[in-house]
Amino acid sequence: MATSVVTQKIENQNKSAQEKAAEIIKEAFEDKMVLVSGTSFQKLTTIVRYLNRDKIQARSESWFTKNFDSLTTDALTDLINAREKAIVSYLAKKELDEKNDSFRDLVARGMSVPDAYTKVYTK
């Protein structure tokens, strides 16, 4: 294991910036396998079935069974994107709240409003 890490570092030193960038891009867009335990898989199946309930009702259970893998992939992608968006939004709001608190604190300590605004919001 340690030998392979050393070998990778040596190989990475011999690569150009374009080759490294190509590898990063390839890895970013490469599909990854996710392992889900049995009980979690049952819950995932319930979620996928719920998200596609209208399509299942309009088509059939056999359609759902046939397209289960792609429907699961779509559901997981949507869930991941929604969770990531919520986290980013939360962190942005938290950062803005901290800046607002800092701004109010500086103004309360006697700094002029324009100076406090410049110091807090234009970094």
pLDDT at 1: 47
Measure the CA–CA gap between 114 and 101, rounded to whole angstroms.
Answer: 15
Tokens of 103: 């701004």
Burial category of 48 from C-beta neighbours within 10 Å (exposed 0-12, middle 13-18, buried 19 and up):
buried
Place of tokens 């938290």: 94
Q: Where are the alpha helices (DSSP H) in the chain?
A: 2-13, 17-29, 38-51, 53-58, 61-66, 68-108, 113-121
Answer whether 0.85 is exceeded by the pTM: no
Tokens of 53: 């309930």
85-123 tens-digit pLDDT: 999 999 999 999 999 999 999 999 999 999 999 999 986
Measure the CA–CA gap between 79 and 89, rounded to whole angstroms.
Answer: 15
Question: Is pLDDT of 76 > 80?
Answer: yes
10-24 tens-digit pLDDT: 666 677 888 888 888
Spell 49-65 as b/e; 16+ CB within 10 A means b.
Answer: eebbeeebeeeeeeebe
Considering the chain, what is the average pLDDT of its residues? 89
